[in-house]
Amino acid sequence: MAFTTSWRSQLPGRMTSMLALLQPTPRYFRLIYQPALFEQIRQVAEARQADVVIAYEMAAGDYVSRLDDGRYIKILDGCEPFAFRSPVETIRSQARVWKFRRFLRQMLDHFDAYLAVSDAELQWIRREVAPRRAWGCTVP
């Protein structure tokens, strides 16, 4: 007997979504991550003997955060967490925000500095995410 569908496709949509909340990486970042792109970024940084690597948005930050910590000064430019907020507050959206905060904190733990896009977002990051390593600011 051969099966042509995975067990995941047999789960109801809500169940699949709830199980996705248990993943450590938010869905958006899991869907766009490409190992070949990370390898290309790593190779360019090494080939150019870079001292500083700047990620110009949060999606790029996911890649740059994976580079060797001691080798580069890493800066996340365009840290915009409010782009991931839900307009309606539900238990599920609160779980997504909790997961995103944890993910952002882990990502920022691999950066030396970050630039938030607004003072409100900078304050939110400092209060809710509380990065242990990265220094943050806004640039007018």
What is the CATH number for 57? 3.40.50.2000
- Residue 4, in any domain of the structure: no
Q: Is 8 domain-assigned?
A: no
Q: What is the pLDDT along the chain (140 residues), one digit of tens a residue?
A: 444 444 455 555 677 666 767 777 888 888 889 999 999 999 999 999 999 999 999 999 999 999 987 899 999 999 999 988 888 888 888 888 899 999 999 999 999 999 999 999 999 999 999 999 999 999 87
Q: Which domain holds residue 70?
A: 23-138
Amino acid in position 31: L
Determine, yes or no, domain membership for 29.
yes
How many domains in the chain?
1
- Asked if the structure places residue 126 within a domain, the reply is yes
CB count within 10 Å of CB 111 equals 23
Residue 17 falls inside a structural domain: no
In a domain, 68, yes or no: yes
Domain-located, residue 9: no
Q: Does the residue 89 lie in any domain?
A: yes
Burial of 55 (0-12, 13-18, 19+ CB in 10 A): buried
